Chains A and B, each alone.
Chain A
Amino acid sequence: MSIRRILLNFIIMILTFTLQTTVFRVFAFGGVVPNLMLVFVTSIAFIRGDKVGLLTGFVSGFLVDIFFGAILGFYALLFMYIGFFVGKLHEVFYSQNMAIPIAIISVADFIYGFACYVLQFLLRNEFDIGYYMMNIIIPEMVYTAMVGIFYYPVVLKIHERIFDKEQRSEKKFV
């Protein structure tokens, strides 16, 4: 992982987080906001593999923790595991086909929502899973997948561009 990529990922992450907390709140549809952070982590993990995925997940989750987490480390852990497992799929599925990453983003967001419900609501005796499913988890999943359709290609393009550049400069030196 070159310095340039780390820096680039960091900048994209900060932009994503800022967009999510400011602009996307305006686009809230029925009170539900797409989870752009998750799209970012999933995309990076899917493009770059498990190690980069888990590191990106950890740092992004930590950023969410600093601002909005009740307990420092909760979202870091959750995003890290999502990054790791999606990164594992990198070797199996990597292709230019758009359908696969979008499907993975949907599943990842569903798991994220479900984990949030179980760990933060179910454990406080809020048993109405049907309500949370129909009003938060599933709408968020659909909305996030829709945003992913536009967001994933952008991340992919940026990474391909950087990769090309690195290969070219390597050739120049060798």
Chain B
Amino acid sequence: MSPIIRRTGEDFRIPSKYLLSILSVLSVILMLVTFSVERSKLGPFEGPLNAFAGVFIAPLQRGITTVGTSLKKTSDRLSEITKLLDENERLKKEIEDLKIENSKLEQDKYELTKLRELYALQDDYGNYKKIGARVTGRDSGNWFSTFTIDKGEDQGIKVDMNVLADGGLVGRVIKVGPDWATVQSIISDNSYVSGMVLSTQDILMVKGNLNKYEKGAISFTDLKDRTGAVKAGDKVVTSYISSKYLPGILIGYVYSVNDDNNNITKSGNITPAADFAHLNDVLVILDQKQIPKDGLEHKTDSND
């Protein structure tokens, strides 16, 4: 076929039906392979694919996010100057009042730190090695809650590392590229975290729920609490038997507890500690939970 006669749009000679079936089979094979490969490892295709994505998408995402943030900051600043001048006058007067109040509060603060020390919430995630990261992109759909961050393999991030924000658990890394990573948040409908009520040490399963999150809650199930000691306001942290999450990370606070139909377990809602609607900067814990390579196969946390 001479290049002059060949018209645009006609040089693909495979009929579209065959192309459709070939690509369908390819996708199904890909699904089966990713499904069967162990979750904590990268699949055979993921390495090169993630590198590709890192070249094309990650820099763009990062750029737009940076520009967007700085633009918003500048416009906010400009609009606020006039407001600030008025406010300045008012605030000067307030300072006097506050000085008096301050001395009173300082006393309260001293008392508070004393009490906090007494309460001593095993301050354990202070000494993990952490790295800060910026959220660069969110899930393209509306069904699950995952997001990308601007740190990746080159900064030492690995799959299954825990992610925090506002002192509470946000999720864990599920995919890593050279300079980006995808984080699945605990509010995502396909996320399960093994948790523990801090006051009673009862184990429960925290499950993200699309339905409930709009009301600001995530659900928990499988709480075995015979005595009914767990009540609203109790702290929920990650449990010691979790296979993917480090123990003792704050998840949130119990909001409501209901009896299940089987009268053995209880379920209910948790208010998460992290503010998922305004995630901008997160911390990734570089330490990972050490579990035996084989043998004990915990099914406590899973992906779907």
Q: Which residues of A contact B (CB under 8 A)?
A: 1-2, 5, 14-15, 17-23, 25-26, 31-33, 35-37, 48-52, 54-55, 58, 63-64, 66-68, 70-74, 76-77, 80-81, 84, 87, 116-117, 120-121, 124, 126, 128, 131-132, 135-136, 140, 166, 173-174
Contact = CB atoms under 8 A, between A and B. Distances in A.
B303 interface: yes
Contacts of B137: 18, 21-22, 25, 67
Contacts of B50: 66
Contact of B27 (A26, A35, A80): A80
Contact of A70 (B20, B26, B43, B303): B303
Central interface residue in A21, A117, A174, by most chain B CB within 10 Å? A21
List the 3 closest A-B pairs by CB distance, nearest first: A21-B137, A73-B30, A73-B27
Nearest to B137: A21
B256 interface: no
B242 to A, nearest CB: 19
A37 B45 contact: no
B143 interface: yes
A52 B138 CA distance: 28
A77 to B, nearest CB: 4
B178 to A, nearest CB: 13
Contacts of B144: 68, 70, 120
Interface of B: 4, 8-9, 11-12, 16, 19-20, 23-24, 26-31, 33-35, 43, 45-46, 49-50, 52-53, 56-57, 60-61, 64-65, 68, 136-144, 146, 148, 174-175, 182, 189-190, 210-211, 214, 303-304
Contacts, number: 155
B69 to A, nearest CB: 10
Nearest to B7: A170
B140 A67 contact: yes
A19 to B, nearest CB: 8
Contacts of A33: 138, 140-142
Contact of A140 (B9, B29, B61, B142): B142
A51 B19 contact: yes
A74 B140 CA distance: 14
Contacts of B175: 66-67
Contact of A84 (B9, B16, B174): B16
A58 B139 CA distance: 18
A76 B52 CA distance: 17
27 contacts: A1-B9, A1-B11, A18-B60, A18-B64, A18-B137, A21-B139, A21-B140, A22-B136, A26-B68, A35-B141, A51-B16, A66-B49, A67-B57, A67-B137, A68-B182, A70-B144, A70-B190, A72-B45, A73-B26, A73-B27, A73-B31, A76-B27, A77-B24, A77-B31, A80-B23, A81-B24, A120-B143
A173 B33 CA distance: 48
Nearest to B52: A66
B260 to A, nearest CB: 15
Given A68-B144, A73-B34, A22 B12 contact: no
A68 B64 contact: no
B4 A166 contact: no
A162 to B, nearest CB: 10
B304 A124 contact: yes
Contacts of A80: 20, 23-24, 27
Contact of A18 (B20, B33, B57): B57
Contact of A68 (B34, B136, B139): B139
Contacts of B214: 31, 135
Contacts of A2: 8
Contacts of A31: 142, 214
B4 A173 contact: yes
Given A63-B53, A70-B190, A70-B304, A25 B138 contact: yes
Contacts of A120: 143-144, 190, 304
A20 B140 contact: yes
B61 A22 contact: yes
B141 A71 contact: no
